[in-house]
Structure formats: C-alpha cells, structure tokens
Amino acid sequence: MGIVFTRLFSSVFGNREARILVLGLDNAGKTTILYRLQMGEVVSTIPSGFPAPDSLIFFLPFAIGFNVETVQYNNIKFQVWDLGAFAYWLLAFNWQEDELKGAVVLVYANKQDLPGALDDAAITESLELHKIKSRQWAIFKTSAIKGEGLFEGLDWLSNALKSKSS
C-alpha cells in the first residue's frame, strides 16, 4: 500500500495552489502515471515547509521509513510522499477527516488494458465510494502503459476544484 502526498503549483489550476493526496496499492502504477503525465525527472529530496504543522502531526505516526520525491515539470512542482500502510487506514475510516475537508476525490482505475480489471461498480464498492456524501468524486479508467484516461482525470479534477472555489 502506498500513499502519495503532493502539492501542485500549476496553471492547470489557474495559478492557484492545490494539495493533492494520492492513494494507491503497491504496484498500482503511481510512479508510471507520474512519468506518463510527463512531469520530468524524479529526484529524491527532502521537502521544506510541507506538510503544514497540523498535517505533520496527523501523519507522524505513519511516516516512519517513508520516501519523498520531488517531480518538476514547467511550473508544476509535485512533492510525492509514500507513507505505506497509512493509506488503507485513511481510505477505510477517514473520508470525513478534517484534514481532507473540502477535498475532491479522483480515482484512477489503472491497468484497464489487463484482463480482469475492475469495473466502476466493483471499484465503487471496494473503495466504499458510495459512502462519500459531502464531496465530489469520480472514477476514470486508465492505462498508464497506453497513456489512456490520465489527462481526462486531471481535467475533471481541475474543473471540480474551480467549481468548488467559485
């Protein structure tokens, strides 16, 4: 189980800053997706000033042995946090957590090119997405290998964030 915690500075979001929390099983394709989105070279680094102190307290018990990567592409700067098994705990119990208040949820259902890939209904059930009442969410079927569905998901995310703030 992996978790990716990112901060995004991007014209995609109208020059606003958005923090993005990305969750994914081991081997789900998170790193492949980052490369597919052409974020450029992945460089291991220690981030400064992030997460905010309240977030740090929230994450500290789970942050032992985590990896941090910074990915840069033009004016986009991702800080990528891999915090291990915390992701499942967050998914299973904490959709309503204050830290995530106001967040929108984008699900990349990756590896759709493989036989047996889950459909929307199965994904909704397994991630208990139907329990999410207070935020926008959407599932996008993707193949990071083929480069399918990724930007459609980002477009949705961009619009969801814009409509939330307007």
Ligand X SMILES: Nc1nc2c(ncn2[C@@H]2O[C@H](COP(=O)(O)OP(=O)(O)OP(=O)(O)O)[C@@H](O)[C@H]2O)c(=O)[nH]1
Binding residues for Mg(2+): 31
Closer Cβ to Mg ion, 30 or 141, answer by number:
30
Out of Mg ion, ligand X, none, which partner does residue 10 contact, by CB within 5 to 8 A per kind? none
Structure tokens at 32: 């492949």
Q: Which does 6 bind (CB under 5 to 8 A by kind): ligand X, Mg ion, none?
A: none
Query: Residue with structure tokens 């980052």?
Result: 34
Q: Which residue is nearest to ligand X (CB)?
A: 29
Rounded Cα distance, 39 and 33, in Å: 9
Question: Is residue 111 within 8 Å of 123, Cβ to Cβ?
Answer: no
54 closest CA partner among 101, 3, 114 = 101
Q: Is the Cβ of residue 31 or residue 124 nearer to Mg ion in the bound state?
A: 31
Binding mask 22-41 for Mg ion (x = CB under 5 A): --------xx----------
